Structure 1
Amino acid sequence: MAAPLHPIVYWAQKAETITLRVDLKDVKDPEIQLTKKSLTFKGVGIGAAGLNSYQFTLEFLKEVDPEGSAYRITDREVNFVLMKVGASVQWPKLTLPENKEPWLKIDFDKWTVEDDSEDDELRRKAEFEKDQLKQIEKQLTECEAEAYADFKKMYLCLYNFIQFIGFSYIFIYLLVNFVIKGQGMKQAYSGVIFPLSLCQCLSILEIIHPLVGLVKTGAVAPLIQVTGRNVVLFAVIRNEARIESEPIVCYLFLVWSSIELVRYPFYMLTSIGQESVVISWLRYTLWIPLYPAGLLSEILTLWTAIPFYEVTQRFCIKLPNVLNISFDMVTYLYIHIAAILIAAPTMMSHMWRQRQKRFGSKKKIH
């Protein structure tokens, strides 16, 4: 529910009276309730927020005389003259100490001070303005933080949704055409290579997200996973046309997309602060068969590519040359396979610890 709008109210005092000036234009038939200790005002007029309904309540520091008080409505404002009760002395402030309203200001044009109270009033004015600035800064900071949080939720939800749609298309296409209908390798490869390449390019953002603070996870794990996949896809598969005819490539794409069918919905719900028990369970369980299948498929794909790169010598740099460096693609493929075999136990152990942390048995406290 939206907070009520408050008009700007200026106040001043003389020895026997309090004057209020409500900064509202064209007010018609306002509701006004005045007691000894408070004033309530409701009315429709033109104020800081345009033509709207405005209201305020003031709880006075001391008592006023409702019978001796009066108000007057003009086209430009509403004026109150409130009679003080008791001795004719200056009030140190208009309202109770705990009430500090940012819309209540001092009307210095009508202020009458006695003795040496002018310095005190100027000091109060400076403190009041300082408090106002602090409140404005606080409100701006809160608004910026809220806007950033909303943007982050919207962006992360949209990113994960787009990736989910992309990998869903890849999985369904391969399952129907390659697995069920037995479509040829080249046709199946041609049907998914563009959307898969697009999704893998977008996945580079998953390395950037933790670096810029959009997610709280580290950047090392996505760096390893995204870089490893993209090297296999763009450097190995897409640069050797004969690999397109190898069935292991489509099986690799099928396993990759199977993993993402659960991972991206899980992250999409997490980004908006929601959780599905089923999706969470699948996220921390399906990796048990799929990760080994994915790693094995990557190894077999790289192993299949080795004879082709031995013949073509693509990407090989031999000495001597201007840069005085050498690179052998076949040697790199062997190193990549070895790296997968070495890293696999660590990756699987990490995923298993994550699952135990999420779904492990709880011990009772005796």
Structure 2
Amino acid sequence: MGAAVSRPLSDPTDRDRRRWVRYLVDERAEARVYRDLAARRDGEERDILLALADAEGRHEAHWLALLGGEPARLPRPDLGTRALAWMARRFGSIFVLALAQNAEGRSPYAGEPYATAAMAADEKIHHEVVRGLAARGRRRLSGTFRAAVFGANDGLVSNLALVMGIGATGVAPGFVLFSGIAGLLAGALSMGAGEFVSVRSQRELLAATQPNEYADDALPHLDLDANELALVYRTRGMPEEQALQRARRVVTAAHDSGRGALRAGEPETATDTNEVVGKAWGAAISSFLFFASGAVIPVLPWIFGLSGVVAVAVALVLVGIALLCTGATVGLLSGASPLRRAARQLLIGFGAAAVTYLLGLAFGVSVA
């Protein structure tokens, strides 16, 4: 039930009681998050979220029992839990579940002497449950959304490195602007063309591997006792004996009816290549636009007439903000720390820019 501590303890101190009150309000807030998320779901996911909220209620009852009833004054939940609750009420998205997954992974109960072993175990299981729900959401995310994040990030880093390198040589601002726009177009066209070829090739590959009706009209003419139809089913993964039985049934039915189908009686498993890889032109256009949306940011200072150190500084600030956003988004999508991923993305982007900037200094003069 979670209402008794796991071992005898000394009399609790005021500090212990304050900690219990904190646990109490956080458990209530987390339960509210799960209920708010459940209100935006239906079916199985709704039931799972409500079950998690009920489990948090058991933990809440444990701390109430230790406190001897409802405290006269309660503090506010911690900032992270309040942010989760706000997002759950307004969005109810995969990002909230990803943050909840991280929160469940930071449970303090493993080192809390007044928490039961069952409570600590519950929190670990909750982490896995939320991970599973978040994984469902990640699988439902469209490839276009992922392409938006990664395509924009590629544009940010590559064009920032380009304009930093060109700008460091001391050339005129107009030349830096031209180089940035050329880099934007070249990179976006390359991304679009590469995506078109990739998707078209995937579609052709998938289409070539799908079973078709090419041999169906040959089935009535096969020898009933000597034919290779069983080999077809073995290439599709059937065990030898099952393939032989299947082949005999199909050929017998074809002889009886005068026509047949290799896939007769099989469940429909053909994959729609549009669902798997999308359309080539759509992928190419979206990849072009996503890359260009990121690549235009480093060029904005020169587009608006800035030059020299001021343009470089503004470009770094704008790109830094964008890199932090894309890094945090990638972190959320992968279930990792958004702050850590944001910092990593910033370091990678600025690192690339620093390398090209130093090379520009080596081949020219400092920015004036």
More strand by share: 1
Same fold, judged at TM 0.5 (above) = no
**Which category describes the TM-score, using the shorter chain as reference length?**
under 0.3
Choose 1 or 2 for highest CA Rg: 1
**Please, what TM-score do these two structures have when normalized by structure 2?**
0.26
Higher relative contact order, chain-length normalized (CA < 8 Å, sep 6+): 2
